[in-house]
Amino acid sequence: MSFSTDTQVDEAYAQVSTTFSSHKTKSLRWRTHQIQRVWWMLEDNKERIVEALYKDLHKHKLEALSVDVCGIQTACVYTLKHLKSWASDDKPSRFNPLNFFGGTRVRKEPKGVVLILSAWNYPFMELLEPMISALAAGCCVVLKPSELATASQALIQEIVPQYLDQDAIQVLTAGPAEMKYILQKRWDHIFFTGSAAVGKIIYENAARYLTSVTLELGGQSPAFVSAKADIDLAAKRIAAAKFMNAGQVCLSVNHVFVDPIVKEEFISSLTKHFEQFLGGSHIPDYYSHIINKRNFDRLSALLDQTSGKIVYGGERNPETLGFSPTVVVDVSPSDSLMSEELFGPILPILDATLDEAISHTTNNERPLAIYPFTTSQAEKDKILGSTISGGVCINDAIVHTLSEGAPFGGTGYSGIGAYHGPYGFKEFTHMRTVVDIPKWMDIILRPRFPPYTEKSAIALANAFRPVDKVWFDRDAAYET
């Protein structure tokens, strides 16, 4: 596999930098046209995208089309419908004389030349969806697809230049060695999807130039199955989430805390639904495989080291990299399966009351998502009030990311920043405050000019004092 040379990196960076300096990409017409072209690029090549994902991950057409084609097209259409309003100036409330007479406004300006780095599990969506946000903001973009999804990388490298403006959008290929050189460039923003370990490397390199970053990471996202849950529904939806892309999803259910009162019922329902989903074969043809041998061996080692009991699955095929959904019970918090984000089809089950599940989650790194399963509103409120995570999906898993106008992102170890809809636009946008002060305002602002006097101090304070009387007392009493 050949990667971009240092010379090619220099040329690509120089090209997009020159284009951004020309202000070409600031035009709403240009932005709109490029996003429309993304939609048609996907539409014209959807069967090739499906084929590439099958080669890379043995991914079925259902998953490939819904996420890596239609999901990105949804982002295109949503962005096109709202772009004009997103890009319009904001006008702050007229709270003081400057806001009113100075015509204070906030311009939405592109950050500049941005680098977007994708992971291998959704190689099109994780690259092109943030690119749509960057194009909407008016940025120039350098794309770096994952080198581990080789068929997808090759297709991206081929079709992006065919459909999009090469002056403003470039594709580079790189492994870890080549990435060191790419990260030496002075980017105006870096958007990365991948592991926390690599995210730290990206962050460290960005700090050299104080470059802003969006880090879409992952973590150990738990499901809580309460004694008050609809047990069969919880089992079906957790099984479906774990089945998706063989668990190779940053938002997948990493482990399940189940109340001991309903444990046996939950496990029985869980294995029943896995049997239904798998159609009698533990590694059916419509089921994704592990991306490569390194990850296959990593998952196998974790499973071999567990002190828990395998009650379902466990089948592995090192030749095809097929790895069946595997349910492991009687897992302790110190077990090998709890030592890292699994990112695979292994599902550890831990006995825990709701309070114990909350305590374990809050005492560890903040996850990308939490999945509470309960019919009790009091329990839902308790979980929301006692935990911190990137997102929460109650009585289901993963599907909260389909909310196009809502932010998707992590917090702490699970990420920095968020995207989707207006939030993606903001990630690639600099909010620039503009005030135009007329000459006559010196009548109001005259006290600011030296020499300072007692009279001028009082006059200026009165001019900018927000209210004569506040609604709270000296003890700052508040109502609950």
Q: HEC profile for the chain?
A: CCCCCHHHHHHHHHHHHHHHHCCHHHCHHHHHHHHHHHHHHHHHCHHHHHHHHHHHHCCCHHHHHHHHCHHHHHHHHHHHHHHHHHHCCECCCCCCHHHHHCCCEEEEEECCEEEEECCCCCCCHHHHHHHHHHHHHCCEEEEECCCCCHHHHHHHHHHHHHHCCCCCEEECCCCHHHHHHHCCCCCCEEEEECCHHHHHHHHHHHHCCCCEEEEECCCCCEEEECCCCCHHHHHHHHHHHHHHHHHCCCCCCCEEEECHHHHHHHHHHHHHHHHHHHCCCCCCCCCCCCCCHHHHHHHHHHHHHCCCEEEECCCEECCCCEECCEEEECCCCCCHHHCCCCCCCEEEEEECCHHHHHHHHHCCCCCCEEEEECCCHHHHHHHHHHCCCCEECCCCCCHHHHCCCCCECCCHHHEECCECHHHHHHHCEEEEEECCCCHHHHHHHHHHCCCCCHHHHHHHHHHHCCCCCCCCCCCCCCCC
Tokens 């419908």 correspond to: 81
pLDDT value of position 277: 96
Same domain, 51 and 176: yes
Number of domains into which the chain is organized? 2
pLDDT reading at 480 higher than 60: no
Same domain, 200 and 274: no
Pick the closest to residue 107 from 383, 471, 430 (CA basis): 430
pLDDT reading at 478 higher than 70: no
Residues 63, 64, 70, 73: what is their CA dihedral angle, to the nearest 10 degrees?
A: 140
Same domain, 366 and 325: yes
pLDDT reading at 474 higher than 60: yes
pLDDT reading at 16 higher than 70: yes
Name residue 193's beta-bridge partners. 216
Interval 34-66: pLDDT, tens: 999 999 999 999 999 999 999 999 999 999 999
Higher pLDDT, 302 or 443: 302
Q: How far apart are CA 153 and CA 147, in angstroms?
A: 6
Same domain, 381 and 341: yes
63, 178, 216, 427: which one is catalytic? 216
Q: Is 216 a catalytic residue?
A: yes
pLDDT reading at 223 higher than 80: yes
State the Cα angle at 91 between 88 and 95, rounded to 5°. Answer: 170
Residue 475 forms part of a structural domain: no
Residue 451 forms part of a structural domain: no
Confidence (pTM): 0.95
pLDDT reading at 154 higher than 80: yes
pLDDT reading at 109 higher than 80: yes
For the segment 328-348, the average pLDDT, to the nearest whole number, is 98
Interval 173-197: pLDDT, tens: 999 999 999 999 999 999 999 999 9
Q: Cα separations (Å) of 198 from 57, 65, 267, 294, 379?
A: 21, 28, 35, 16, 36
Counting residues of the chain whose pLDDT is more than 90, the rounded percentage is 88
Q: How far apart are CA 430 and CA 424, in angstroms?
A: 12
**Per-residue pLDDT band at 479 (split at 50, 70, 90):** low
Higher pLDDT, 208 or 104: 208
Interval 236-259: pLDDT, tens: 999 999 999 999 999 999 999 999
Same domain, 151 and 87: yes
Q: Cα separations (Å) of 295 from 70, 331, 435?
A: 28, 22, 54
Would you call 450 exposed, middle or buried from its count of C-beta atoms within 10 A (0-12, 13-18, 19+)? Answer: exposed
Q: How far apart are CA 476 and CA 466, in angstroms?
A: 18
pLDDT reading at 432 higher than 90: yes
Residue 305 forms part of a structural domain: yes
| Cβ atoms within 10 Å, residue 310 | 13
For the segment 1-26, the average pLDDT, to the nearest whole number, is 97
Same domain, 230 and 331: yes
Counting residues of the chain whose pLDDT is more than 70, the rounded percentage is 98
Name residue 154's beta-bridge partners. none
**Per-residue pLDDT band at 413 (split at 50, 70, 90):** very high
> Rg of the chain over CA atoms, in angstroms?
26
Residue 262 forms part of a structural domain: yes
Same domain, 251 and 330: yes
Pick the closest to residue 199 from 216, 186, 211, 187 (CA basis): 216
Helix axes 46-57, 150-163, angle to 10 degrees: 160
Q: How far apart are CA 63 and CA 193, in angstroms?
A: 19
Same domain, 281 and 398: yes
**Per-residue pLDDT band at 408 (split at 50, 70, 90):** very high
Q: How far apart are CA 348 and CA 360, in angstroms?
A: 15
CB neighbours of 465 closer than 8 A, spacing ≥ 6? none
Q: How far apart are CA 224 and CA 386, in angstroms?
A: 13
Interval 124-135: pLDDT, tens: 999 999 999 999
Q: Would strands 189-193 and 212-216 be described as parallel, antiparallel, or unpaired?
A: parallel
| Pair 404, 245: CB distance under 8 Å | no
Residue 466 forms part of a structural domain: no
pLDDT value of position 92: 85
State the Cα angle at 175 between 169 and 181, rounded to 5°. Answer: 70
pLDDT value of position 55: 98
Q: How far apart are CA 138 and CA 189, in angstroms?
A: 13
139, 250, 341, 427: which one is catalytic? 250
**Per-residue pLDDT band at 468 (split at 50, 70, 90):** confident
pLDDT reading at 21 higher than 80: yes
Residue 452 forms part of a structural domain: no
pLDDT value of position 460: 84
Q: Which domain holds residue 362?
A: 222-403
CB neighbours of 271 closer than 8 A, spacing ≥ 6? 311, 312, 327
For the segment 430-442, the average pLDDT, to the nearest whole number, is 91
Residue 413 forms part of a structural domain: no
pLDDT reading at 465 higher than 70: yes
Residue 1 forms part of a structural domain: no
Same domain, 80 and 96: yes
Same domain, 427 and 337: no
Same domain, 271 and 302: yes
Same domain, 35 and 113: yes
Q: Which of 1-5, 311-315, 400-404, 462-466 has the highest mean pLDDT?
A: 311-315
For the segment 212-237, the average pLDDT, to the nearest whole number, is 98
Q: Is 76 a catalytic residue?
A: no
| Pair 325, 242: CB distance under 8 Å | yes
Output the domain CATH number for residue 208. Answer: 3.40.605.10
Interval 66-106: pLDDT, tens: 999 999 999 999 999 999 999 999 988 777 766 667 788 99
**Per-residue pLDDT band at 444 (split at 50, 70, 90):** confident
Mean of all residue pLDDT scores within the chain: 95
For the segment 135-149, the average pLDDT, to the nearest whole number, is 99
Output the domain CATH number for residue 241. Answer: 3.40.309.10
Q: How far apart are CA 427 and CA 420, in angstroms?
A: 10
